[in-house]
Amino acid sequence: MTETGTLTALIAAQRRSQAARLRLAAIGGAVVSVAAVCLLGLSGWFITGAAIAGAAGAAAAQTFN
């Protein structure tokens, strides 16, 4: 077997032996990505709510002053 063939066989063996770990890592990465997007959406919701509340407070002060 040539050196390239030996290296290819070694890489293939490692892929087979580490397939479950790679799959678990990919699933974990996907879960973290979804959680990050959800947290960004939630923080955007709170920032928008705070801006509306601040604008409403300024409008109320202007109206009753």
User: What is the reported pLDDT for 58?
Assistant: 81
- Which tokens sit at 36? 């990050």
User: How distant, in Å, are the alpha carbons of 21, 22, 39, 43 from that of 31?
Assistant: 15, 14, 12, 18
Residue 35 contacts residue 27 (beta carbons within 8 Å): no
User: What is the reported pLDDT for 3?
Assistant: 75
- With 0.95 as the threshold, say if the pTM is over it: no
* 22-58 confidence digits (pLDDT tens): 999 999 999 999 999 999 999 999 999 999 998 888 8
Minimal CA–CA distance to 34: which of 24, 44, 42?
42
Q: What is the residue extent of each domain of the chain?
A: 3-63
Q: For residue 1, name the pLDDT band (cuts at 50, 70, 90).
A: low
User: How distant, in Å, are the alpha carbons of 4, 6, 7 from that of 1?
Assistant: 8, 6, 10
